[in-house]
Amino acid sequence: MSVMEKLIITAAVCGAEITRKQTPYIPLTPEEISDEACAAREAGASIVHIHVRDENGKPTQDVKIFKRTLDLIRKKCPDVIIQVSTGGAVGMSADERLQSIYAEAEMATLDVGTTNFGNDIFVNDMPLIRHFAKKMNEVHIMPEFECFEIGHIYNALRVVKEGLVKGHLHFDFVLGVPGACPADVRNLIRMVDSIPSNATWTVSGIGKHEFEMAAQAIAMGGNVRVGLEDNIYLSKGVLAKSNADLVEKVVRISKEIGREIATPRETRKLLEIKD
């Protein structure tokens, strides 16, 4: 294997969709989410992707809940890179979704295209993408482009060309969402070939595809996102008891292949985020 950069692991700790009915291990409160985020960091994640829930466990983009959660994360594990979601949940308004960028995180997701999302439609049209990119630029938060389809990459490149996103480009290929691009290595290769050569990328394999996509990304020199947002099983029929369980499995696979894990400081360097 040629020399590769260290592996950046992102932990997507709770998301917006998973319920306690599906797994008792999904964190819901700011305390639980911050505990899970820091355990994932301890296990090897250098970025935590954060959604929050209200007092009933429903997804919310309330900036106050984000701030409380981020404060707790910073107290418990100050060095982890916090990436807030601006995707929120299907059906939320753009204004509601955008609140999270005011919680003073280093990164935020920028969903760069509309997609089928199970039985729903997750709406991200060009005016919304441009608006989110402008606002992120204003508050100096680094976007990660979430691509559910190959065409989404071209929407991202369009806002870059328009000057709305500056600096290092980092992509997340979300593969295996029902209704969107399937988790298949040929799709992954095509997507990787479509981004600029100096950009970085990670893959989020959804559901049973999580570790298959992770192993492929590790071998290809990309990076990996895992977490209960994307997949609740450690192996077939065995629920992961925490996000850290999922991160530890990626660390094991990566070390077996001979790729070391990036610390948050090393990740900041790779993504050109100021320390």
111 binds, among Zn ion, ligand KMH, none (CB under 5 to 8 A by kind): ligand KMH
Which of 117, 132, 145, 171 forms a contact with ligand KMH (CB under 6 A)?
A: 117
For residue 197, the 8-state DSSP code is T
Q: What is the rounded (10 degree) CA torsion for 181, 52, 88, 231?
A: 10
Q: State how far the alpha carbon of 18 is from the alpha carbons of 12, 53, 58, 67, 171, in Å.
A: 12, 11, 10, 22, 24
Q: Measured from the CB atom, is 13 or 43 closer to Zn ion? A: 13
Q: What minimum distance in Å lies between the beta carbon of 124 and ligand KMH? A: 9
205 binds ligand KMH (CB under 6 A): no
How many helices (DSSP H) and strands (DSSP E) are in the chain?
A: 9, 14
Q: CA triplet 228, 196, 253: central angle to 5 degrees?
A: 35
Q: Residue 49, class by beta-carbon neighbours within 10 Å (0-12 exposed, 13-18 middle, 19+ buried)?
A: buried
Which of 60, 99, 109, 114 forms a contact with ligand KMH (CB under 6 A)?
A: 109
171 Cβ neighbours under 8 A, 6+ residues apart: 144, 145, 147, 153, 156, 191, 195, 199, 200, 201, 202
146 binds ligand KMH (CB under 6 A): yes
CB atoms within 10 A of CB 76: 16
111 binds ligand KMH (CB under 6 A): yes
Size of interface with ligand KMH, in residues (CB under 6 A):
12
Task: Write the single-letter amino acid at 176.
Answer: G
Q: Which residue is nearest to ligand KMH (CB)?
A: 87
Q: Locate 227 and state its tokens.
A: 């977490």
Q: Near ligand KMH by CB under 6 A, which window of 86-94, 130-138, 160-168, 242-250?
A: 86-94
Which of 27, 30, 44, 87 forms a contact with ligand KMH (CB under 6 A)?
A: 87
Q: What minimum distance in Å lies between the beta carbon of 16 and ligand KMH? A: 4
CB atoms within 10 A of CB 45: 36
273 binds ligand KMH (CB under 6 A): no
115 binds Zn ion (CB under 5 A): no
Mask for 81-100, x = binds Zn ion (CB under 5 A): ----x---------------
Which of 60, 101, 103, 122 forms a contact with ligand KMH (CB under 6 A)?
A: 122
Q: Which residue is nearest to Zn ion (CB)?
A: 85
Residues at the contact surface with ligand KMH, assessed by CB under 6 A: 15-16, 85-87, 89-90, 109, 111, 117, 122, 146
Residues at the contact surface with Zn ion, assessed by CB under 5 A: 85
